A and B are shown apart, each in its own frame.
Chain A
Amino acid sequence: EVQLVESGGGLVHPGGSLRLSCAASGLSFMDYEMNWVRQAPGKGLEWVANISRSGDMTHYSDSVRGRFTISRDNAKNSIFLQINSLRVEDTAIYYCASGGLCTTDVCHNTAYFQHWGQGTLLIVSS
């Protein structure tokens, strides 16, 4: 069974920093691109960041580029999201989500979100 377990959420003041983690099990981790997707309270889903299987390529939404950094440690089957310069509008549940299984050079056709964690809540408030 695939499990993605997020941690690191909490209450942070505006302007602060936080690091979210996601530990994966039950899958061949290096065969999956990984993502962070967030959901503000009562709102829809918003993709935040993506990282390639090797970790050498990353992509971000415009709303977080320059403040958020996604990374991964394939030896520990984990991904991370370093969040700096936090804003009130960053308040959300942050989900870790894998792409589909990708065993080819390019993962474009498996770029949906196949496996999801339970989410970790980040509240940004003074």
Chain B
Amino acid sequence: DIQMTQSPSTLSASVGDRVTITCRAGQSIRSWLAWYQQKAGKAPRLLIYQASILESGIPSRFSGSGSGTEFTLTISGLQPDDFATYYCQQYDIFPWTFGQGTKVEVK
């Protein structure tokens, strides 16, 4: 199985901050990576797919980059609605696997 490792596990930030979350894959997954946002008690929401393509309806302050084994999710100008847990997921090789999650909390 391809292990996905996110860092940090928890991130403390303030409204307006630029936030970066890293996701590393145990082997190359080319660009087959997605990012999700999940708020407490809610289903996850797709933010980005194919490493850098913004899902329809997602604010442009979210961006993704990377390929191979290292990927980043950046939030440019954190908003109150962005405090949540973020997951990366590879869909190159079965079984598809998620990172352990990064919780973005209020500083």
Chain A positions within 8 Å of B, measured between CB atoms, are 37, 44-47, 50, 59-62, 95, 100, 108-109, 111-114, 116-119
Contacts and interface: CB of A to CB of B under 8 A. Distances in A.
A88 to B, nearest CB: 21
Contact of B89 (A95, A100, A112, A116): A112
B40 to A, nearest CB: 11
The size class of the interface chain B forms with chain A is: 20 to 34
Most A Cβ at <10 Å: residue of B38, B43, B46, B50: B43
22 contacts: A37-B44, A44-B87, A44-B98, A45-B44, A47-B89, A47-B96, A47-B97, A61-B95, A62-B95, A100-B49, A109-B32, A111-B91, A111-B96, A112-B34, A112-B89, A112-B91, A113-B34, A113-B46, A114-B49, A114-B55, A116-B46, A118-B42
A89 B97 CA distance: 18
B81 interface: no
A45 B50 contact: no
Interface of B: 1, 32, 34, 36, 38, 42-46, 49-50, 55, 87, 89, 91, 94-101
B46 A95 contact: no
Nearest to B48: A112
B49 A112 contact: yes
Nearest to B100: A44
A116 B91 contact: no
Contact of B44 (A50, A61, A113): A113
Contacts of A109: 32, 50
Nearest to B1: A62
A61 B96 CA distance: 8
Given A44-B101, A114-B55, A59 B95 contact: yes
Contact of B43 (A46, A108, A118): A118
B44 to A, nearest CB: 6
B95 A116 contact: no
Contacts of B1: 62
Given A95-B43, A112-B91, 19 more contacts: A44-B98, A45-B36, A45-B44, A45-B89, A45-B101, A47-B97, A47-B98, A50-B96, A59-B94, A109-B32, A109-B50, A111-B32, A111-B91, A112-B89, A113-B44, A116-B43, A116-B45, A117-B43, A119-B43
